[in-house]
């Protein structure tokens, strides 16, 4: 049988000729009943706090698990993002290399044109010098 504060207060005892004083027993039972009631209330309060804190712990664990899942998802995305960024850099480098190559090829074509022009001018100068030399040799002295 579980005791509660009412059971303690309502408890009766048989009296005998030289038994305990009824008033003393009643006073003691009232004190015990009061203390027992306070302990029950405190126990209920502690159980309530325990349930509340258990819910808080559960909520915090759910939040932590959600944050870990989000972090893992971000970590999984990170290599893909880095790969995409690296591919972007490679594309840009290839585009810049293509532009630089085209510019170099244009410069080479321009230089070849200049070389050919200079060869023609050189040949014209050589021809002029030969003509001048023959003219000078053919003149009487």
| Number of domains present in the structure of the chain | 1
Cα–Cα distance for residue pair 128/140, rounded to 1 Å: 20
CB 11 within 8 A of CB 36: no
pLDDT at 95: 93
**3-class SS of residue 140:** coil
Look at the block and give the residue holding tokens 């995409």: 84
- Sign of the alpha-carbon dihedral angle for 101, 102, 108, 112: positive
Cα–Cα distance for residue pair 118/51, rounded to 1 Å: 98
Cα–Cα distance for residue pair 121/127, rounded to 1 Å: 10
Longest dimension (CA), the chain: 182
pTM of the model as a whole: 0.43
Look at the block and give the residue holding tokens 């999984």: 76
**3-class SS of residue 21:** coil
Residue 53: give the domain boundaries.
5-138
More confident call, 100 vs 75: 100
pLDDT at 110: 94
Identify the CA nearest to 12 among candidates 32, 27, 2, 26: 26
Of the candidate ranges 2-6, 84-88, 135-139, the one whose mean pLDDT is the lowest: 2-6
pLDDT at 130: 87
Share of the chain above pLDDT 70, in %: 96
CB 5 within 8 A of CB 38: no
């Amino acid at each position: 049988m579980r005791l509660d504060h009412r059971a303690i207060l309502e408890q009766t005892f048989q009296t005998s000729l030289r038994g305990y004083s009824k008033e003393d027993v009643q006073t003691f039972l009232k004190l015990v009943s009061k203390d027992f009631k306070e302990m029950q209330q405190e126990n209920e309060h502690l159980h309530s706090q325990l349930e509340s804190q258990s819910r808080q712990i559960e909520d915090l664990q759910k939040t932590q698990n959600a944050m870990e899942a989000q972090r893992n998802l971000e970590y999984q995305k990170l290599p893909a993002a880095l790969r995409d960024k690296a591919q972007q850099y490679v594309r840009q480098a290839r585009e810049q290399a293509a532009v630089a190559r085209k510019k170099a090829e244009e410069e080479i074509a321009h230089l070849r044109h200049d070389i050919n022009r200079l060869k023609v001018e050189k040949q014209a100068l050589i021809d002029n010098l030969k003509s001048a030399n023959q003219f000078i040799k053919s003149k009487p002295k």
